[in-house]
Amino acid sequence: MSQKIVVFWYSQSGQALDIARQVCRDLSRAEVQVVYKEILPRPAYPFPWSSEAFFEVFPESRLGIPCAIEPLSLEDVQDVSLVIVAWQPWYLSPSIPIHAFFQSPDVQTFLKNRKVLSITGSRNMWVMAMEQIRTYLRECGASLVGQIALNDRHANLISVTTIVRWLIHGKKQKTRWLPAAGVADADIEAASGFGMPLIRALSSGNWHALNHELRELGAATYNPALAFVEQNGHRIFGVWARAIARKGATGSPGRALMLTAFRYYLFSVIYLVSPFGILFFWLTLPLRFKKVQKHRERVLGLPEIDDQPN
């Protein structure tokens, strides 16, 4: 087949890159060359984070304000058949380096008329961030042909606890009382199974079936209760982010008080309010069933591909 694809990736922990490598693991057997290009913020963000630094990036992430990134060399990937972007959400939005990647004029020119596969690894809320990725791709004229979204499968409050422990304290591993943080190693290993639909699409040139095949393999799952919480959280986060940004740019002393208030708000909502929000959703599901089904198809389907003839 002798084709080439490029994987652009940003991952502090390496999890998104691990997923992408597993997806592409068997492509070499089909004579597909895979080129990896890291998106490098300038300066780099810390990992693990301090608590202050972690909350400092909230407004810019939610509002899509980019950071500086190292220039990406694109000359050697002009002939690729597919672009893969491996990324992760921050605060229900793409991470700041991913915003910067998609807002780069050189990247926008490169992506025009290209086919793109999205790969993300997250705690459990990725839907609103993926909406922004779709918007970026539409704006630069690229076609989203598939999505892989792997999540932490543990209960919401458990996954919050483990991800904070990992991000702030650098402790990912399982303990006596808590599971390991992030996407399970077994799920990352199993991501190699998503390579076969990719090989078939590359071989045949028919991309219309790719996302359907990935869905059948469980490449992305939709939890309606979490999507309900996420949609509301994303809207409220926007209010907070705009209010904090008006106090000054990143590092401005004037916004420190509001960031502290947001920190207390966030953990209060997660641990005290969100369980009741989820309960409310399930109790009122019969009233919103059709709307939920429509949203599910929007999230998991790709109308821009699905509505086109084969």
Which residue is it, tokens 């972690």? 54
Q: Report d(CA 294, CA 4) in Å as an integer.
A: 36
Q: Which of 148, 150, 12, 22 is nearest to 85 (CA)?
A: 148
CA torsion angle 168 273 260 101 (round to 10): 60
pLDDT score at 212: 94
- Would you mind telling me the total number of residues written for the chain in this entry? 310
> In this predicted structure, what is the pLDDT of residue 305?
56
Picking from 48, 44, 8, the residue whose alpha carbon sits closest to that of residue 24 is 8
What span, in angstroms and rounded, lies between the C-alpha atoms of 232 and 211? 27
Please give, one letter per residue, the 3-state secondary structure of the chain: CCEEEEEEECCCCCHHHHHHHHHCCCHHHHCEEEEEEECCECCCCCCCCCHHHHHHCHHHHHHCCCCCECCCCCHHHCCCCEEEEEECEECCEECHHHHHHHHCHHHHHHHCCCEEEEEEEECCCCHHHHHHHHHHHHHHCCEEEEEEEEECCCCHHHHHHHHHHHHHHCCCCCCCCCCCCCCCHHHHHHHHHHHHHHHHHHHHCCCCCHHHHHHHCCCECCCHHHHHHHHHHHHHHHHHHHHHHCCCCCCCHHHHHHHHHHHHHHHHHHHHHHHHHHHHHHHCHHHHHHHHHHHHHHHHCCHHHHCCCC
Tens-digit pLDDT string for the chain (310 aa):
579 999 999 999 999 999 999 999 999 888 999 999 999 999 999 999 999 999 999 999 999 999 999 999 999 999 999 999 999 999 999 999 999 999 999 999 999 999 999 999 999 999 999 999 999 999 999 999 999 999 999 999 999 999 999 999 999 999 989 999 999 999 999 999 999 999 999 999 999 999 999 999 999 999 999 999 999 999 999 999 999 999 998 888 889 999 999 999 999 999 998 999 999 999 999 999 999 999 999 999 986 655 454 4
CA distances, 284 to each of 121, 229, 279, 281, 294 (Å): 30, 13, 9, 5, 16
For residue 310, what pLDDT is reported?
44
| This prediction's pTM | 0.94
Cβ of 14: how many Cβ atoms within 10 Å? Answer: 12
Domain range 3-225+293-306, CATH architecture:
3-Layer(aba) Sandwich (3.40)
Cβ atoms of 168 and 139 within 8 Å: the answer is no
What whole-number distance in Å separates Cα of residue 231 and Cα of residue 54?
22
pLDDT (0 to 100) of residue 304: 60
Quote the CA–CA distance of 310 and 308 in Å, as a whole number.
7
Q: Are 16 and 121 in contact (CB under 8 A)?
A: yes
CB-side neighbour CA atoms (13 Å) of 70: 12
